[in-house]
Amino acid sequence: MPQHISKGYKALMAEAEANVSSITASEAISLHTDPNTVIIDIRDIRELEREGRIPNSFHAPRGMLEFWVDPDSPYHKPIFAEDKTFVIQCASGWRSLLATDILQKMGLNPVLNLKGGFTAWKEAGGTIEKVEKK
């Protein structure tokens, strides 16, 4: 007998949307040069190599995000302990919306979702840099 889920991604996203603050691509572009703001790119490395990335963004793959944020984790990254505003972005804003919700629940603050993700950033004329394959 197949297993059924009790809550789908649309419900999870609706809950996250009610809990998190999101910013538009144009707002993110204006924050991009603010030294107190860090854009966190949670896309897979293959997406970065294929599409490029926002200059000076920090790559934190979605699968490792909670472990990199938690100072008690052996995988902790010091950037997440800095007193910064974190803008979370993915390709279209779905993964970043859910990730922003989780990070808020973890107590990371302030943390914002980039609505529309990297796609919206490109469409708004944000700068992009090429990522070389490793």
- What is the structure's pLDDT at 57? 97
For the chain, the structural domain boundaries read 18-123
What's the length of the chain? 134
Instruction: Write phi, then psi, for 58 (nearest 5 degrees).
Output: -105, 125
29 pLDDT band, cuts 50/70/90, is very high
Kindly give the interhelix angle for 9-19 and 94-106, rounded to the nearest 10 degrees.
Answer: 60
110-134, pLDDT tens digit by residue? 999 999 999 999 999 999 999 998 7
Task: Quote the tokens at residue 75.
Answer: 């995988």
Asked if residue 2 has pLDDT above 70, the reply is no
Residue 6 and residue 29: Cα distance in Å, rounded? 38
Task: Quote the tokens at residue 40.
Answer: 């966190």
43: DSSP letter: S
Q: For 20-30, what is the mean pLDDT?
A: 97
* HSE-up (13 A, CA, CB side) for residue 38: 18
- What is the structure's pLDDT at 68? 98
Q: What is the CATH architecture assignment of 18-123? A: 3-Layer(aba) Sandwich (3.40)
pTM value is 0.94
Instruction: Write phi, then psi, for 117 (nearest 5 degrees).
Output: 60, -150
65-108, pLDDT tens digit by residue? 999 999 999 999 999 999 999 999 999 999 999 999 999 999 99
